[in-house]
Structure 1
Amino acid sequence: MSNLLSLKCTKDTEGWWTEGDIYPARVVAGGFVLVGDDEELDGEGWSAGPMEYREDGSVLYQVGGIDGEVVFEEAAQ
């Protein structure tokens, strides 16, 4: 199992990501991922935690520690 993912931004009220774009992410402890942003795709400053595990196998992740809402979707494998 690879610890690298491609996540699609489905919602961003902060302006660091572009909705509909794909971003690289790396899985870290506890199911959390570190994800890049528009300015630094390989950045590891943003931590997103799983917020929903869907029946089709996809996962929604939400960036924590910010005032707005940022959500990413991992495609079903």
Structure 2
Amino acid sequence: MWLSSLVPRRKYRIGATCLFSICLVLVNQGLAEKTAADYFVRSLPGAPPGPLLKMHAGHVEISPEHHGNLFFWLYQNRHIANKQRL
């Protein structure tokens, strides 16, 4: 019984690992010289006093011939609510 509950988790883990690996390879092709520290948000204008959330933001170049960029903003929760997500 416990073995059957592990099979879906293992499939999910393998799929997530493959997806993460593919994304990592694609990102590394265009950002070989940049690290996470380069995108770390140290201050935010208009933010209330106190510690900021852990945030990374910036532009990733998509197509150099058309000057295409993708903006991203990643932030980490301080806590996870005990509610069911919709």
TM-score (norm. length: structure 1) = 0.28
- Please identify the structure whose Cα radius of gyration is greater: 2
More strand by share: 1
More helix by share: 2
Q: Greater relative contact order (Cα 8 A, min sep 6): structure 1 or 2?
A: 1
